[in-house]
Amino acid sequence: MKKLIFRKFIWDTSKFFISSLLLMGIIVWTLQAVNYFDFVTEDGHGLKVYFFYTILNLPKILHRILPFIFFISIFYTIISYELKNELNIFWINGIGKINFINKVIIFSITLMIFQIILGSYISPNSQFKARNYLKESNIDFFTSLIKERKFINVMKGLTIFIDKKNEDGSYSDIFLDDSTKNNSKMIYAKSGILIENEKQKIFKLLDGRMINNENSKINIFDFNQIDFNLQDYTTTTIIVPKVQEISSIKLLSCIFNFDAGKNIYESFKCGENLKKEIIQELLKRFYKPIYIPVITILCSFLIIFSKNDIQYNKVKNLIFVLTFFLLIISEASLRYSAISSYSFLIYLLIPWVIFIFAYSFFYKMVKYV
């Protein structure tokens, strides 16, 4: 009987938690997807790349909002059980409040493990794949971005200006600036046609002049026709992975190789300049989920007082504010966790101190209430 009662409580909490997590995740994902549409409208990526990139960022969103959704879920379920007098079923069947909270903490530890897996493997792996989609993407919507009398610089190192777009799809008075640190190439053409398909992406320029500046030597020549290859250029979108997109194993190996300047992914190099950021990222993935059991113990104070108690509403509001404040602390303190060894130690101790104090205080209150 006791197992069935606990199973129902866990099921009700889980059901509310999963549905709320998915609903809130989709809402946040939709808002982010609107912002990511710049990849199409400004950077020229195709809709397929945009779709996969936004979908693969969903695990990151779920990882970020999971603690808050769990707090709302456990808080709501306990209050709901109290208002419906369902908590009395636990006490009538000989289930003590200490036993109740221990079972709920075990449930929260299971969720904590899931949060660690989500944050340390699933989320960075999906973000890394999303970044690769951008890296391997062709600029499929490049043609649609070309507008009259507007500078286009969606390709790294290349600026294009078109004076007029004709009805037949050709362009008039075209200016291209292809510049690097040592070399620069400026091209003017009276007309041109953009040829874009699966095999090639070239600008066929007609009747113009090229000014080529290479190693301080300037060459100027006129041409009747040249084919300017656009496939040699990459997008201006950031394609180098960020710290949060690197796998946990590589970040852990980076911790022990700062001085070696080890490359763990192409141009992403381990270095002292990234030490704080990497430590914060690893703490976020592996240690920050420990706040989930702490949230559980704070919300469990709700079972001490009955709804008929005159102080019940005040206690309920106080617990909500304290737990919400704890979530803010867990997020804010992470930013300062890697400033020094002292701040790092404080960050590690905070959740344990709160948990031990709250559990001890709960144990004493149960004896006297």
Any domain includes 103: yes
**Both 131 and 159 in a single domain?**
no
**Both 56 and 162 in a single domain?**
no
pLDDT for the residue 47: 60
**Both 22 and 154 in a single domain?**
no
**Both 108 and 128 in a single domain?**
yes
Which of 179, 199, 229 is the last residue in one of the domains?
229
Total domains present in the chain? 2
Measured in degrees and rounded to the nearest 5, phi and psi for residue 46 equal -80, 165
Which of 229, 253, 276 is the last residue in one of the domains?
229
**Both 253 and 119 in a single domain?**
yes
- What type of residue is 155? M
Distance, CA of 283 to CA of 248 (rounded, Å): 11
For the cut 90, the answer to whether the pLDDT of residue 157 exceeds it is: no
For the cut 90, the answer to whether the pLDDT of residue 18 exceeds it is: yes
For the cut 70, the answer to whether the pLDDT of residue 274 exceeds it is: yes
Any domain includes 234: no
pLDDT for the residue 116: 96
pLDDT for the residue 310: 85
**Both 52 and 114 in a single domain?**
yes
Q: What percent of the chain is helix, strand and coil (3-state, nearest 5)?
A: 60, 20, 20
* 42 band by pLDDT with thresholds 50, 70 and 90: very low
Burial class (CB in 10 A: 0-12, 13-18, 19+), 1: exposed
Q: Is 157 left (phi over 0), alpha (psi -120 to 50) or beta?
A: left
Kindly report, residue by residue over 125-148, the tens digit of the pLDDT: 988 887 776 665 555 445 555 666
Is 142:201 a contact under the CB 8 Å cutoff? Answer: yes
pLDDT for the residue 361: 93
**Both 314 and 219 in a single domain?**
no
For the cut 70, the answer to whether the pLDDT of residue 38 exceeds it is: no
Which of 229, 262, 286 is the last residue in one of the domains?
229
pLDDT for the residue 92: 85
Any domain includes 222: yes
**Both 169 and 309 in a single domain?**
no
**Both 153 and 124 in a single domain?**
no
pLDDT for the residue 284: 94
Distance, CA of 356 to CA of 369 (rounded, Å): 20
Any domain includes 237: no
Any domain includes 28: yes
Q: Range of 102's domain?
A: 2-136+245-368
The mean per-residue pLDDT over the stretch 32-43 comes to 59
Q: What does DSSP assign to residue 99? A: H
Biggest CA pair distance of the chain: 96
Kindly report, residue by residue over 280-332, the tens digit of the pLDDT: 999 999 999 999 999 999 999 999 988 888 888 899 999 999 999 999 999 88
Q: Cβ neighbours of residue 329 under 8 Å, at least 6 residues apart?
A: 350
pLDDT for the residue 163: 78
pLDDT for the residue 293: 96
**Both 333 and 210 in a single domain?**
no
Q: What is the pTM of this model?
A: 0.74
Any domain includes 299: yes
**Both 178 and 107 in a single domain?**
no
* 367 band by pLDDT with thresholds 50, 70 and 90: confident
Any domain includes 236: no
**Both 121 and 155 in a single domain?**
no
Any domain includes 240: no
- What type of residue is 251? L
